[in-house]
């Protein structure tokens, strides 16, 4: 059987589709992946039509985050106009809004897709489309009624899932009205890859120890449970050995919600094997309350160079009462001090544009962040009310947001408020200057507003790049050659964020496409 998997996101980081593809291929099925960044055209491109005709898939799968709902709806309609091929939707949005997604697809995958999609391919081969599949995680409709199948237990033995390749030879991209094989055109692949394709992005676990009220994980626990599932060290290293063969991979970006959920024994083994066989710089994500100095130093010795830590807010009330995130700011301060001692490059994530956060709490956040050990950088995200999450339900009930507001805005598109601008440059200016600007609206003068407006672009275009370069150089143990290659590879992402107001170039293009589509294709936005 033949399976075509479509991704509509603006970049080529598609770990979910890669995993489904690898699992289907392991069972003998022919698979291709096609990246169609934010496809919102009114007609199906001749290149896409020819690609589908030549491959002639038995099933088309579309993986989507919530922001890709309208492109998924659009491409499904266009494919159905030209082809009689069943379509299955899966991914985050299919779990958050399954009934809605089933209006536009023949099937949806409500849960993990590796086994479900393979089972559906086998069902189509042996029983055909006319028979309702009795497959866990696969929903469909029959005579207008939704057929909900039970959720299968999540895969606990992650080593059974095939390892992911850096650039599979069956991965294609739609670029300037043509379709290219990314493995044969890796320069083009790097154009769409995050951080210029200099890193391999992977996961060693599935699940998160937290159930923050704003996060989809708070909804996913109903599907996957609360447990953390882990790959073995041997399995992780086996994947990385293959990835390392590509000379363009400079570092490993581990996407786990918190790498420190691994046991101490696992981490000791990982550090030993990683240093022996891989020996590339790597990045992990951490939760402040789950770090310890000794483990951090073990990882640093093995090559840990960058640490991403979620802070979200400097207000304990906001983190605990609003976000259901049981992390007090004093834990953040302790964790930041530990990171600073190791010399790893710290990147701290913050949530802004929160209507439940008071002005005083925003000022408290800026004050707290300014006191953390420098140097470090921050990344700001707009608070998005994803459907099904406790915070979204609260906000809809309070008439703060609408049911579909999350479909129209990237989380990295930040409001251009005074305090947001100040928070964004807080890591790069002296505390005394932060205190000068960090005032409530009632106490700000024209001088404050004008000076900040002048200061922000200066800092973003000079001081921030310098800090980024320095902490990267230090994290790489002052290996200048490696630093230059790393910074050069990620420069496109860094510069685009400065120029395009927190959005990458691909995200900005999608923003424009979405605005155009809403004006010129109004039927697409009707229920």
Q: What angle do CA 295, 299, 303 make, to 5 degrees?
A: 170
pLDDT of residue 502: 44
On whether the CB atoms of residues 245 and 280 are closer than 8 A, the answer is: no
Q: How far apart (Å, rounded) are the C-alpha atoms in residues 498 and 496? A: 5
What is the tens place of the pLDDT at every residue in 147-182?
Answer: 999 999 888 899 999 999 999 999 999 999 999 999
Tell me what the pLDDT averaged over the chain comes to. Answer: 92
Q: How far apart (Å, rounded) are the C-alpha atoms in residues 301 and 275? A: 8
pLDDT of residue 409: 77
The alpha carbon dihedral of 468, 473, 475, 481 has a sign of positive
User: DSSP string of 114-148?
Assistant: HHHHHHHHHHHHHT-TTSPP--TTEEEEETTEEEP
The alpha carbon dihedral of 471, 368, 435, 460 has a sign of positive
Q: Which domains does the chain have, with CATH numbers?
A: 2-147 (3.40.50.280), 193-512 (3.80.30.20)
CB atoms within 10 A of CB 220: 22
Structure-block tokens of residue 79:
């494919």
The 3-state DSSP class for residue 280 equals coil
Name the region of 247 (left: φ>0; alpha: ψ -120 to 50; beta: rest): alpha
Neighbouring-strand partners of residue 107: 88, 140
What CA–CA distances, in Å, run from 34 to 63, 237, 413, 421?
A: 11, 28, 26, 38
Q: How far apart (Å, rounded) are the C-alpha atoms in residues 41 and 81? A: 14
Q: How far apart (Å, rounded) are the C-alpha atoms in residues 149 and 120? A: 13
Structure-block tokens of residue 108:
């949806």
Q: How far apart (Å, rounded) are the C-alpha atoms in residues 490 and 24? A: 32
Q: How far apart (Å, rounded) are the C-alpha atoms in residues 265 and 260? A: 11
Q: How far apart (Å, rounded) are the C-alpha atoms in residues 30 and 234? A: 28
What is the tens place of the pLDDT at every residue in 22-45?
Answer: 999 999 999 999 999 999 999 999
Q: How far apart (Å, rounded) are the C-alpha atoms in residues 378 and 387? A: 27
Neighbouring-strand partners of residue 31: 3
Contacts of 333 (CB under 8 A, 6+ apart): 368, 371, 372
Name residue, tokens 């980024």.
468
Q: How far apart (Å, rounded) are the C-alpha atoms in residues 393 and 389? A: 6
Q: How far apart (Å, rounded) are the C-alpha atoms in residues 213 and 219? A: 9
pLDDT of residue 505: 61
The whole-model pTM stands at 0.92
> What HEC string does 301-342 produce?
HHCEEEEEEEEECCCHHHHHHHCCCCCCHHHHHHHHHHHHHH
> What HEC string does 407-470 produce?
HHCCCCCCCCCHHHHHHHHHHHCCHHHHHHHCCCHHHCCHHHHHHHHHHHHHHHHHHHHHHHHH
pLDDT of residue 372: 97
Length reported for the chain: 527
CB atoms within 10 A of CB 148: 14
Q: What angle do CA 34, 200, 196 make, to 5 degrees?
A: 75
pLDDT of residue 526: 82
Q: How far apart (Å, rounded) are the C-alpha atoms in residues 332 and 137? A: 39
Residue spans of the chain under pLDDT 50: 492-503
Q: How many CA atoms lie within 13 A of 45 on its CB side?
A: 13
pLDDT of residue 495: 43
Pairing state between β 138-142 and 145-147: antiparallel
Contacts of 269 (CB under 8 A, 6+ apart): 233
Structure-block tokens of residue 94:
């299919």
On whether the CB atoms of residues 291 and 342 are closer than 8 A, the answer is: no
Structure-block tokens of residue 11:
């970049």
60 exposure class (CB count in 10 Å sphere: 0-12, 13-18, 19+): buried
């Amino acid at each position: 059987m033949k399976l075509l998997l479509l991704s509509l996101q603006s970049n080529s980081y598609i770990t979910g589709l890669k995993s489904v593809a690898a699992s289907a291929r392991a069972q003998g099925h022919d698979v291709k992946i096609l990246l169609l960044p934010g496809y919102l055209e009114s007609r199906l491109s001749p290149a896409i039509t020819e690609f589908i005709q030549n491959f002639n898939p038995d099933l088309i799968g579309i993986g989507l985050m919530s922001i890709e709902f309208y492109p998924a709806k659009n491409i499904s309609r266009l494919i159905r106009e030209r082809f009689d091929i069943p379509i299955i939707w899966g991914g985050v949005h299919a779990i958050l809004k399954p009934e809605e997604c089933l209006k536009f697809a023949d099937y949806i995958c409500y849960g993990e897709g590796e086994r479900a999609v393979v089972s559906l391919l086998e069902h189509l081969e042996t029983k055909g489309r006319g028979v309702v599949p009795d497959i866990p995680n696969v929903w469909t409709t029959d005579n207008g009624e939704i057929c909900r199948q039970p959720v299968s237990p999540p895969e606990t033995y992650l080593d059974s899932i095939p390892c992911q390749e850096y650039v599979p030879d069956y991965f294609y991209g739609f670029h300037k009205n043509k379709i290219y094989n990314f493995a044969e055109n890796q320069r083009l692949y790097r154009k769409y890859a995050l951080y210029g394709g200099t890193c391999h992005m992977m996961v060693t676990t599935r699940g998160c120890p937290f159930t923050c009220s704003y996060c989809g994980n708070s909804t996913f626990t109903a599907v996957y449970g609360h447990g953390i599932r882990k790959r073995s060290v041997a399995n992780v290293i086996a994947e990385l050995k293959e990835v390392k063969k590509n000379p363009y991979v400079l570092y490993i970006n581990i996407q786990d919600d918190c790498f420190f959920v691994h046991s101490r024994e696992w981490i000791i083994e990982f550090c030993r094997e990683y240093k022996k066989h891989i020996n590339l710089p790597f990045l992990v994500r951490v939760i402040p309350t789950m770090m310890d100095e000794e483990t951090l130093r073990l990882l640093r010795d093995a090559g840990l160079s960058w640490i991403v830590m979620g802070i979200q807010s400097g207000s304990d009330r906001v983190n605990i009462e609003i976000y259901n995130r049981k992390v007090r700011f004093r834990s953040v301060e302790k964790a930041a001090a530990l990171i600073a001692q190791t010399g790893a490059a710290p990147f701290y994530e913050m949530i802004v544009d929160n209507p439940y956060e008071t002005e005083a709490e925003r000022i408290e956040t800026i004050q707290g962040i300014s006191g953390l050990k420098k140097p470090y950088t921050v990344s700001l995200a707009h608070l998005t009310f994803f459907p099904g999450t406790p915070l979204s339900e609260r906000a809809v009930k309070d008439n703060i947001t609408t049911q579909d507001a999350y479909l129209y805005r990237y989380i990295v598109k930040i409001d251009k408020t005074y305090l947001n601008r100040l928070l964004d440059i807080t890591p790069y200016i002296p505390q005394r200057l932060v205190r000068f600007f960090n005032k409530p609206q009632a106490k700000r003068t024209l001088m404050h507003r004008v000076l900040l407006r002048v200061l922000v672009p200066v800092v973003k275009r000079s001081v921030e790049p310098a800090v980024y370069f320095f902490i990267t150089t230090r994290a790489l143990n002052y290996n200048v050659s490696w630093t230059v290659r790393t910074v050069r590879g990620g420069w496109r992402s860094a510069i685009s964020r400065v120029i395009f107001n927190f959005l990458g170039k691909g995200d900005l293009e999608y923003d424009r496409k979405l605005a155009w589509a809403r004006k010129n294709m109004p039927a697409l936005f009707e229920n």
